[in-house]
Amino acid sequence: MPLTQLEAFALTLAIEALAAFALGRSLKLPPLKCAVAAVAASTLTHPILWAVFADAAAFFGTSTTPLLEVAVMAAETPFYRALATARWRDAALLSIVVNAASWGAGELIYALT
């Protein structure tokens, strides 16, 4: 059974906030600020991703998820830069790792259902 948009959004927020918190600690960044950045970024990008996915899938086919995830990572990097770190490299790393964790969890959920 596929997840509803609300279920997917709640899982995204939980997974990404926890991943950002943990990664923030390992990067010696304020973990709570990293988690807040994850929630803020996903609050903007998740509804947009959900809204465009079907149309994008009709055009990009099996490349849709990777292409849209790369776009999301790029769009979310400035949130991490503004809210959690002064370094663009750390902001990009946070965005990439956190979104990869969420994407991987989503793939696992769909594989198990």
Give CA–CA dist 41/78, Å, rounded: 9
* Tokens encoding 43: 């609050």
State mean pLDDT over 78-84.
98
* Tokens encoding 51: 């809204």
- What per-residue confidence (pLDDT) applies to 110? 86
- What per-residue confidence (pLDDT) applies to 2? 81
- Global confidence as pTM: 0.93
pLDDT tens-digit map of 22-31: 999 999 999 9
pLDDT tens-digit map of 31-59: 999 999 999 999 999 999 999 999 999 99
Instruction: Please check whether residue 34 is in contact with residue 80, taking contact to mean a CB–CB distance below 8 angstroms.
Output: yes
**What single letter denotes the amino acid at residue 95?**
S
